[in-house]
Amino acid sequence: MTELHDAAFRAGLWQVVEQRAKELKDAAKAELSALEVGDTVAGKYEGKTVAKATKTRGRRRLRVINEVGFVEWVLRRWPDETIQTRTVRDSFRKKLEDKAIDLGGLIDDDGAVCPHVEVIEDEPYISVRKDKDAPFLVAQLLSSGRLSLDGVKAIEGADT
């Protein structure tokens, strides 16, 4: 049973670390929201890149606002792409979605616009990618006492 107690201790310990790390990461990402879409900044420690943050444009996707109308619209134009239950085949639906995202709306080969769907774009978001050496640099900060659950202490060698 001791091994299970130890495992429960470690699971709880890492859960606390994970939750605190998420809070700190979310706070840093909130600061990064000041970036313009497409901008990238590098976070460095002693001249070595730890991570890069980019404000990425929100993902565009097609949202069906009237499923029955959408299926009827496809049925009239591409009857072979629907099935007996009057559902658009997934592979063709994906093809229509990709085309609609490119064009800004779902338009058939004759130029008719489908009124049952719309292209929407999610909010821009911050993407952070750690450098390959980031685990080593983070370990250095931890072992030197410069990184704790309170955040990162002022680092003389840090630059942005």
Q: What are the per-10-residue average pLDDT scores of the chain (160 residues)?
A: 79 82 93 94 90 94 92 93 84 95 94 94 86 84 82 56
Say whether both 102 and 135 belong to one domain. Answer: no
This prediction has a pTM of 0.56
Say whether both 25 and 53 belong to one domain. Answer: yes
pLDDT given at position 160: 42
- Write out the residue range of the structural domain in which residue 40 sits: 2-57+123-159
**Spatial separation of the C-alpha atoms in residues 1 and 9, rounded to whole Å:** 12
Say whether both 18 and 96 belong to one domain. Answer: no
Say whether both 97 and 137 belong to one domain. Answer: no
Say whether both 107 and 135 belong to one domain. Answer: no
Say whether both 135 and 92 belong to one domain. Answer: no
Domain count across the chain: 2
Say whether both 6 and 53 belong to one domain. Answer: yes
Say whether both 11 and 45 belong to one domain. Answer: yes
Are 60 and 117 in contact by the 8 Å Cβ rule? The answer is: no
Are 117 and 104 in contact by the 8 Å Cβ rule? The answer is: no
Strand stretches in 2-133, DSSP E: 40-45, 48-56, 60-64, 82-83, 87-88, 117-121, 125-130
Say whether both 7 and 42 belong to one domain. Answer: yes
Say whether both 71 and 94 belong to one domain. Answer: yes
Say whether both 27 and 42 belong to one domain. Answer: yes
